[in-house]
Structure formats: structure tokens, C-alpha cells
Chains A and B, each alone.
Chain A
Amino acid sequence: MSASDEIRAAARAAGLDKLTDAQLAEFAASRTAARGYAAKLPKDLSWTEEPALTLSLTPRREATS
């Protein structure tokens, strides 16, 4: 598989099958950027360290008539 075929396949896998050639070039650059971000994640996160989430449950509300 050529590099451009690989990029097109990756874009399709992400649901992006209408990108023009210029937009595929943007997608290719964005993959490099994403890998760059991921490479900087710390490698020492313990399984005990939970994610920061915004989920905050509340009791059910009273029904309104």
C-alpha cells in the first residue's frame, strides 16, 4: 500500500471519505501532530490514577405537572 493509499484508508476509517487531495494532505499532517501530542504523555501513569471527568450525578428530580 502506498503512503497516499494509507492516508486515504486512515481518513476513511475516521469517517472522512470526501476529503480532496489538499484536505488529505492536511489529514496526513494532522496525524503527525496527533502522534506528537501522544508521545509527550507521561509514561508513569498508574492504574490507580483515575481520569478527570465532568460526570456528576444528581438524584432524580420531582415530577412537574
Chain B
Amino acid sequence: MSGDLGYLGLMQAGELIRTRELSPVELTRALLDRIERHDGRINAFIRVTPEAALASAKAAEAEIMAGGWRGPLHGVPFGLKDIIDVAGVPTTSHSKILLDNVAKTDAVVTARLKAAGGVLLGKLSTHEFAIGGPSFDLPFPPARNPWNRNCHPGGSSSGSGAALAAGFVPAALGTDTGGSVRNPASMCGIVGMKPTYGRVSRRGVFPLSYSLDHVGPMTRSVRDNAVLLNIIAGHDADDPGSANVATADFAADIGKGLKGVRIGLARHLYAEAPVASSEQLAALDAAAEAFRALGAEVREIRLAAYDDYITCNRIILTAEAFAIHRRWLAERPGDYGALTRQRILPGASIPSADYIDALRLRQRLIERTSAAMTNVDVVLTASSLDPTCRIDDAEAVARTYPRQVRQPFNVTGQPALAMPAGFTRDGLPLSLQLVGHNFEEAMVYRVAAAYEEATRWCDRRPPGLD
């Protein structure tokens, strides 16, 4: 097959492979070549695993040629954030602390992707331990934004977002504790889903905060995202947070249209305090109109107060993260990047009663959010309040952290998807967020896919990556 294979989607590639119009080996070689040519300027990968990838691709090709096609990921390359274990490969968490940490077994999600026939291309950059970045004092450089390589790609699943936008992989996994799948999705113009808490096993994924961590699929299209979630979702009896809830085809409702769908517009989360940038605000207003034009009923609703969600997330996240890191912080504080230390250390000074109160506040917020959504199917709100900024401007990057609407849904555990909603005058991605009821990812994908089909923002490509 001729032509550039960099931007083939998961489903497109899977179908071409199924019909034997495309060889998994040809696709894998093409993407490895693309990574070789461009990743020196983007740093999406910490470690590329070409030999293992080609071996997997050859095995997939032989199996498919023998009539053993396993499904849409069979023979299709993917990447993993480097806090997710792959047997025999280091999981560094982008940190000096874990440089030699070779995983003994696959994470559950890795095993599921391998069982589906996926071809792992390598491990992707992250903020150190999924919290400290973008940083220039770590063993690996930070990933950069393919839309403008002077800019931050968002984090902490920064390499996953950058690799997708750059056309290095059609599918990747990230993790999301305070927005780390949805932030790079927003900054890189791709689709990122934080599924319902417990929907996807976290076993074999280095934790940041046990009660807030989610593993999520990242792709360039909504349907690809739903298909990737189909593969990684499912109950895991050995993950204490795993939900014993049946999974169905998350893509099943895509294409059903929006007639009769009720969308709650949570404008107060991005148009009161804090207030989104003018371009982001205009994109969200335009999106609300687009949903109305597609037949949805859109009306404003109010969830709980923005500050309550943020306070709750911050206290729980830092307290749990400090509990995880305190031994290394005690013994090897200088081996952490400065930003990581600065973001985890507040957890050392949170009294146990405040942690418990944050958990009590969390239950209150879950109940209030659910009550506010009683008469709607999904919520439309912002993901980021601003487009990306320069990666080397530490103050600008720091300002972006509180200017987001992602943390509320780590607190409530609801499924939340970020996707492109336009571009700035300078050609940088803008985004929106759709939030569903617990375990109703299929409705989120239905709404997101209708918007994607109407706008086709997903068809734009970053410049200079031919």
C-alpha cells in the first residue's frame, strides 16, 4: 500500500489489515520510520522497541494470513505511557528513581492490548510520576507539542498526546488523576477519555493517587477511542477499585444522532470564575449551538461550586501521592525533579482529619453532581480554559494548572471525554469536554461522534511532519 500511513486511524488500519490490503509489518515499519525522522524534535517516546514491534507485527501478519484475525487492533501499533508495565521493559515513570525498574509482568491493560493483537511500538513520555512536568531536570526531555514545538503538549500523558498528533501511533493509553488524559488531548487536538472510575484495571500501572487514578484511551477519532476502550475495559478482581459492572460495545450508539438527547451546559465552570480565554469561550459557545443544530436539547445547568471540586481533588491527590512517595522522598529527595517534589510535598502537611474531610466532601460532591444531572444525558463544559503555552515559560505553564475543568470528574469518577473544538488564530487546538453518568460511556461517545462528524476538526494535521 502506498501513501503516508502516519495518520491512518485504528479502525481504518484494522480494516485494511483484515482485508489484507495492508500488512502489519508495512504499517509498523512506516511508523517506526516516521518516529525515527521526527521524534528527535518532539520527544514523544522515552523508549522505542523496534525489534519487539516488528516481531509482533510479523506474528500478527502470519496469524491473519492463516485466517486468525482477532479484531480491530490485530496488527495495529500502539504506545503506552511509561508508568504502565510491559514485561521485560523498564517502567521509568520518566524518573531517575525508577531508571532500572524492569517490569516483571504486563499490566492488565497491556495484556489486554497484546491479547487483541496490538503491536507495541514503545513507551511514551510522561510528567515524572504523572505529576512533575513539563520538566528539564529529568533523565529524559519533556515531550513537545506537534502543533508548535515550542509549546507544552499538556500532561501528564504528554507523550501519548504528542505521539498521536504527530502521527506516530493510531492509539495510545494515558492515565488521568487530575486530568492527565484530557489535558494532552485538549492541547494536542486529539480525543482522550477518562472512563468511569473502576471501568479499567489499574493493576500494573504506577499509582499517583489510588482513589483518583484512571487509565484511559487516547486516539485521533471518537470511534477509535470507543473501540480502544472496548479492548481495555472490564472487571479485574485483583484491582480493589475495579467495578464489577458488565461492559458492552461502547461504539454501539455512534451514528444514532442526537434527536432527543439532553445536554446540560455547565457554563458556570468556565464562564464565571475562572473565565476561559475569549477564543476558548467562543469555541464552547459555538459547540453548544452545533449540538442544538444537531437536534439535541441544550440547557444550562449548575453542578457544585468549582472551588469545592478543586479543593477536594488537591487534598486527596497530594495526601495519597505523599503516602506513595514518602520513603523515596526521605531517602533520595534529590533524585526527583523539582516540580515533582513541589507538587507532592504538600501531602506531607495535610492532617489526617483534613484528608477524611476531603473524602466526605467528595461523597457530597458525587451526590450533588448526580442530582444536578438528573434530567440530562451528558454535560458539556470546558476541558482547558486556554490554548497551550510555551513549554519553557514555567510561569505560563503553572498558570494553566488551575485553569481547567477536569479535576471535578476525577472527584466524582464519572466518564469524561476531551476532544477538539476548533483552533486559535495561531493554529493551536481548542477543546471541549463531555461528561456522562457513571458507566454510560456509550452515550458520551454517541454525542462526541455526532459533533466530530459535523465539525471534522479531527481532520487537521500539525504542520511540518510530512
Contacts and interface: CB of A to CB of B under 8 A. Distances in A.
Nearest to A43: B357
Contact of A23 (B333, B351, B360): B333
B114 interface: no
Contacts of B345: 26-27, 30
B407 interface: no
* Secondary structure type dominating chain B contacts: helix
Contacts of B341: 23, 26
B311 A41 contact: yes
Contacts of B314: 37
Interface string B309-337: 00100110010000000110111011000
Interface in A16-62: 16-20, 23, 26-27, 29-31, 33-35, 37-38, 40-42, 45, 49-56, 58, 61
Contacts of A35: 349
A15 B363 contact: no
Contacts of A30: 342, 345-346, 348-349
B190 to A, nearest CB: 29
A41 B315 contact: yes
Given A41-B311, A41-B354, A49 B346 contact: no
Nearest to B336: A23
Contacts of A42: 308, 357, 361, 364
Given A30-B346, A52-B363, 4 more contacts: A16-B348, A18-B333, A40-B311, A41-B311
Contact of B350 (A16, A20, A38): A38
A17 B241 contact: no
B318 A34 contact: yes
Contacts, number: 101
A45 B361 contact: yes
Interface size class of A (residues with CB under 8 A): 20 to 34
A26 B315 contact: no
A14 interface: yes
Contacts of A18: 330-331, 333
Contacts of A49: 360, 363-364
A15 B361 contact: no
10 contacts: A14-B349, A18-B330, A31-B346, A37-B314, A38-B315, A50-B363, A52-B359, A52-B363, A56-B240, A56-B241
Given A23-B333, A31-B349, A51 B360 contact: yes
Nearest to A31: B349
Contacts of B376: none
A26 B358 CA distance: 24
B330 A51 contact: no
A53 B349 contact: no
A20 B346 CA distance: 17
A10 B359 contact: no
Contacts of A55: 240
B237 interface: yes
Contacts of B362: 51-52
B150 interface: no
Of listed A30, A38, A52, A61, residue having the most chain B CB within 10 A: A52
A53 B358 CA distance: 11
A37 to B, nearest CB: 5
A53 B364 CA distance: 12
Most buried by A among B331, B350, B356, B362: B350
Please name the 4 residue pairs, one residue from A and one from B, whose CB atoms are nearest each other, closest first: A51-B359, A30-B345, A34-B349, A14-B348
B421 to A, nearest CB: 30
A58 B360 contact: no
B366 interface: yes
Contacts of B346: 30-31, 33-34, 37
Contacts of A61: 237
Contacts of B334: 20, 23
B338 interface: yes
B330 A16 contact: yes
Contacts of B241: 54, 56
Nearest to A42: B361
Contacts of B363: 49-52
Contacts of B237: 58, 61
Interface string B239-283: 011000000000000000000000000000000000000000000
A16 B262 CA distance: 52
B439 interface: no
B438 interface: no
A49 B341 CA distance: 33
A28 B362 CA distance: 27
Contacts of A34: 318, 346-350
Nearest to B354: A38
A61 to B, nearest CB: 8
B329 A16 contact: yes
A37 B348 contact: no
Contacts of A26: 338, 341-342, 345
